[in-house]
A and B are shown apart, each in its own frame.
Chain A
């Protein structure tokens, strides 16, 4: 991959989700907050999984570019903190999960 002159350090992350809906949710939830440092840029997309059907965009892809490795590390770590929360909310509080739990609470 070609490196930007000002932003030599780059990293592309791919996070696969069970379906395109969840990948899109993660993208929308995470891309709103601006990167705090002007020394880091990033780009969010959803893409199809390698070898998967091309119309199933269930992978969240983020391309990071930074001026230093240190800045890159800080930004990516912070991304993972947010991602972990998004995943936990998906696992525990998606509509079907909550309904399941509420039903169980009523019957049990």
Chain B
């Protein structure tokens, strides 16, 4: 059966691989052979915010997702204003991510799939980000920088796979920023990275020396975090910057951002040079950062291209991207049988057969 023969296809997507629970409804119109149109019918999110100085633990995050799943699903359905009979499939995040939160959301997705008698589609979280980014920005063949709390990857499409050209060899960049936010005990609300960004805007007087660790198209952040933590301890003891002024949290946030973002822009540029592309798409939670977008934009412009980024509705984890990527796969005939609808903490971007692209 050619599903794209249906003029309208609708999917419900559920995401909960980290501390955001997101549920959204997407509509695809037109044949997928022609450029089909994607319309966001609803995109609802609820974030588990842990107290300053702490990270989100799997157990608490899973509990949050279970408590809010029905409420958020009801909101998503009512905002989308679609009836159950109009929905073609239920999409959920198969991985990668934290086990317990993923499983909680998967249980909800399976129950809906069984109750509504709709096929289930397991989606790779990273592919969700990439496809949503492409759909929103119209970037056709970009090098993708995927930066979040769990992932740092430079990706480009080739021969039915999103191939990983570069990645963090230890912790993800978002994890580095989040953990540093804990070190200096700044708020996790709305997100630690957001608060680092705001603080960094007050910095700029000095650039404190942090390790710069790029290896080919890969990079590493744990050494930088260690050094930044040391500098924070130095600051708490009244330490001074090279210019003789006391070190401030703003100096630290500024220096940390400037250093890690330079690394990200550099590995992205390397990938662009390597594959011969001048488009960059930034996805993932860290992709909201305006300084990162600005640096990336300047780099891309220098190469005669441009940067594509989405706002917080789409770059922060959400349900709509899962619905969208799931529906793309579903349109090619892909389904996940209930008995195989497990979750997996480790699920590499390049494991997915991207059948919907040429």
Contact = CB atoms under 8 A, between A and B. Distances in A.
Indicate if A touches B (C-beta under 8 A). yes
Interface of A: 24-26, 28-30, 32-34, 36, 81-82, 84-86, 88-90, 92-95, 98-99, 101-102, 105
B111 A86 contact: yes
Interface of B: 62-63, 66, 69-70, 73-74, 77-78, 83-84, 99, 103-104, 106-108, 110-112, 114-116, 338-343
B110 A32 contact: yes
Contacts of A98: 77, 83-84
Given A85-B69, A85-B111, 16 more contacts: A26-B111, A29-B111, A32-B110, A32-B338, A81-B63, A84-B66, A85-B70, A89-B108, A90-B115, A92-B74, A93-B73, A98-B77, A98-B84, A99-B84, A102-B83, A105-B78
Contacts of A33: 103, 106-107, 342-343
Residue with the highest number of chain A CB atoms closer than 10 Å, among B70, B115, B116, B343: B115
Contacts of B341: 32
A89 B77 contact: no
A28 B69 contact: no
A32 B114 contact: no
Residue with the highest number of chain B CB atoms closer than 10 Å, among A98, A99, A102: A98
B342 A93 contact: no
A95 B116 contact: yes
A93 B73 CA distance: 8
A99 B338 CA distance: 24
A30 B338 CA distance: 10
A98 B85 CA distance: 11
B107 A82 contact: yes
Nearest to B114: A25
A99 B342 CA distance: 29
A29 B114 contact: yes
Contacts of B340: 32
B331 to A, nearest CB: 24
Residue with the highest number of chain B CB atoms closer than 10 Å, among A29, A82, A102: A29
